[in-house]
């Protein structure tokens, strides 16, 4: 019998390798109800359609087995193996044993229910079409009926046969072979199950890729240690010690980055957290299942990184042969990991160098790019990069936050900056900010004032204006210390997407600030000088409220009677510049403010 660890198995591969399975007596009976079976079929069909009916694996996780002669007894995975057989029964209801699914069922020999004569008799009878006299298994019957009903009612008739064959080729799993001593040993089995996740059984793509990359490589444990440290984006790669200063912590990162550049990976790794040294799985089967996506875990922190693990790995792959002028970057970063890391690509990689790059880019990501710090009161941003001048660090932090909440694709700023950092060496806060601004200008370009009118004006230009007001806050608010204090506390938040008129279109409350119905007033009312960006929740509160209500909102921050950070620095600046606004001068002030924010602030950043 062929070695089957590390092979992606499917019903088709099971047939090709002549694999047979058994369900030991100590395993529970088949427990999936119709809803669970239906959900699997629906997920398979959606996967089939979303990939345009092409062969693309659908993973149902790892099955843990003990090998006994020519059979594999299932320690974990009996539910999934049984469902595979039920799919075969539903598809092969004409009992064509030379068909693909008929060969998988193998006249009932594929799956054996050890010491369960009733289930074995029923199961084999159902496969052979000889159920008379057999005591039915109600849940298996429900499963078969559910599968048949789904195929008849949910799958287009012209796709039905192809879909069934697609399942045969693509319903994928891996097998973990446990020592034979586990068979029947209660203590060993208990320890095994205690160490397993008790949720679902799907494997993440990065878990599969982790093993595929190191196949045949020497020093696999070292490579896995790098992977586990670099690819855990839930925490920094280097631990911040209690009472450690920001400058000392940043220096650790600079040292680790320097060691990576010199090729001393072991020394760099010794500086990292190294919390995964016991996780040394080198086969797919050794990777434990992950929790079911429908089960919420309240103990796992949300990822503080700007990017996901998939995006990070795709970025490292992109940087192997980087070309910033490639036009299809979006499609590259949207593809699935296992498609991007095809066998051809993996074989072309210098794997040890690739892992060295994974560690270097992870350290650079931690050091030069903000992470998301979720406090009880809301979102904050952290930057490891250190400068003796706090304002310089703050500018880098705020500009990156602006790019982040503006949904700037990582391949327009993080990836090219990573390329520069690796090839040109380390930079300070001033240079970092210059590089960030240059990349943003290259991506966004400029904008004419005529394109800043409601409703066409893009949200991004408000966000850049907010950053520029913040950057120049000491000059813009030099006559008002209260407003300056409010500006100091400003934080970029992604939910601010609503464009609100400073002087509303049709005030709900009594107000002497009202627009005429003329074309001139409509143009002034919808111009950039009368627009600010706020959240939808605040917009619902302030929408069409009088100017006085909005002024009171700003003053509540100036007087510190309102907690948190103000949502719009532009609104704050307008009220600071024009405290005497009234019906007679409001049009001139709006035009003046639009000209000022565009020509004196925004346009200078192009």
Q: Both tokens of residue 131?
A: 């159920």
Residue with tokens 């049709």: 506
Yes or no: say if 504 and 539 are a contact pair by the CB < 8 Å rule: no
Residues 6 or more apart whose CB falls under 8 angstroms from that of 468 comprise: 601, 602, 605
The pLDDT assigned to 181 comes to 61
Secondary structure element (H or E) that encloses residue 534, with its range: strand 531-535
Q: What angle do CA 239, 245, 248 make, to 5 degrees?
A: 70
Residues 6 or more apart whose CB falls under 8 angstroms from that of 314 comprise: 332, 333, 335, 337, 340
The pLDDT assigned to 142 comes to 92
pTM of the model: 0.68
- What phi, psi does 44 have (nearest 5°)? -60, -45
- What phi, psi does 362 have (nearest 5°)? -65, -45
Residue with tokens 């806050």: 473
The pLDDT assigned to 511 comes to 75
**Among the residues of 92-234, which ranges form H helices?**
100-105, 117-128, 138-153, 157-170, 186-194, 205-214, 220-230
Please report, in angstroms and rounded to a whole number, the separation of the first and last CA atoms in the chain.
67
3-state secondary structure of 359: helix
* Residue 210: closest CA among 227, 235, 196: 227
The pLDDT assigned to 295 comes to 34
* Cα distance between residue 358 and residue 360, in whole Å: 6
Q: Which residues pair with 22 in a beta bridge?
A: 73, 112
3-state secondary structure of 284: helix
DSSP string, 144-164: HHHHHHHHHHTS-HHHHHHHH
The pLDDT assigned to 561 comes to 79
Q: Which residues of the chain have pLDDT under 70?
A: 1-6, 25-28, 115, 131-134, 180-204, 274-303, 375-378, 509-510
């Amino acid at each position: 019998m062929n070695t089957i660890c590390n092979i992606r198995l499917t019903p088709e591969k099971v047939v090709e390798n002549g694999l047979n399975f058994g369900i030991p007596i100590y395993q529970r009976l088949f427990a999936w109800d119709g809803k669970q079976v239906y959900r699997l079929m629906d997920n398979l069909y959606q996967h089939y359609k979303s990939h345009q009916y092409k062969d693309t694996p659908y993973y149902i996780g790892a099955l843990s087995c003990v090998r006994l002669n020519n059979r594999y007894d299932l320690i974990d995975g009996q539910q999934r193996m049984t469902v595979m057989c039920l799919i075969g029964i539903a598809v092969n209801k004409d009992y064509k044993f030379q068909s693909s699914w008929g060969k998988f069922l193998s006249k009932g020999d594929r799956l054996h229910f050890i010491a369960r004569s009733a289930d074995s008799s029923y199961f084999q009878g159902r496969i052979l079409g000889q159920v008379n006299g057999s005591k039915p298994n109600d849940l298996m019957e429900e499963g078969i009926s559910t599968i048949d009903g789904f195929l008849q009612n949910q799958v287009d008739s012209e796709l039905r046969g192809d879909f069934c064959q697609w399942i045969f080729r693509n319903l994928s799993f891996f097998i973990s072979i446990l020592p034979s001593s586990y068979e029947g040993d209660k203590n060993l089995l208990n320890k095994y199950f205690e160490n397993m996740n008790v949720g679902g059984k799907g494997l993440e793509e990065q878990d599969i890729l982790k093993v595929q990359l190191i196949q045949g490589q020497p020093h696999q444990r070292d490579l896995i240690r790098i992977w586990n440290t670099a690819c855990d984006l839930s925490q920094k790669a280097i631990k911040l010690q209690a009472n450690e200063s920001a400058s000392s912590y940043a220096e650790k990162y600079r040292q680790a980055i320097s060691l990576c550049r010199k090729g001393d990976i072991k020394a760099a790794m010794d500086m990292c957290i190294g919390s995964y040294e016991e996780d040394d799985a080198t086969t797919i089967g050794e990777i434990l299942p992950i929790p079911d996506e429908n089960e919420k875990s309240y103990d796992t922190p949300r990822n503080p990184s700007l990017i996901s693990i998939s995006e990070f790995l795709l970025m490292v792959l992109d940087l192997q042969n980087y070309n910033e002028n490639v036009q299809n970057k979006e499609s590259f970063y949207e593809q699935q990991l296992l498609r991007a890391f095809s066998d051809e690509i993996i074989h072309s990689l210098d794997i040890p160098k690739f892992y060295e790059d994974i560690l270097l880019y992870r350290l650079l990501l931690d050091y030069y790019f903000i992470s998301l710090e979720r406090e009880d009161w809301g979102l904050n941003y952290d930057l490891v990069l250190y400068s003796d001048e706090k304002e310089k660090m703050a500018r880098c932090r705020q500009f990156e936050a602006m790019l982040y909440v503006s949904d700037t694709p990582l391949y327009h700023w993080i990836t090219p900056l990573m390329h520069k950092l690796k090839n040109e060496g380390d930079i300070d806060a001033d240079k970092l900010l210059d590089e960030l601004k240059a990349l943003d200008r290259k991506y966004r370009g400029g904008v004419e004032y005529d394109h800043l009118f409601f409703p066409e004006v893009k949200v991004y230009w408000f966000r850049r204006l907010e950053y520029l007001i913040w950057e120049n806050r000491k000059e813009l608010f030099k006559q008002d210390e209260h407003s300056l204090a409010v500006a100091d506390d400003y934080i970029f938040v992604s939910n601010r997407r609503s464009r609100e008129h400073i002087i509303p279109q049709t005030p709900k409350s009594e107000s002497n600030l009202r627009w005429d119905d003329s074309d001139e007033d409509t143009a002034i009312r919808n111009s950039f000088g009368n627009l600010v960006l706020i959240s939808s929740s605040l917009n619902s509160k302030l929408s069409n409220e009088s100017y006085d209500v909005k002024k009171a909102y700003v003053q509540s921050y100036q007087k510190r009677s309102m907690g948190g950070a103000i949502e719009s620095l532009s609104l704050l600046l307008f009220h600071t510049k024009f405290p005497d606004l009234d019906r007679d001068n409001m049009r001139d002030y709006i035009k003046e403010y639009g000209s000022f924010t565009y020509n004196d602030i925004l346009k200078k950043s192009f």
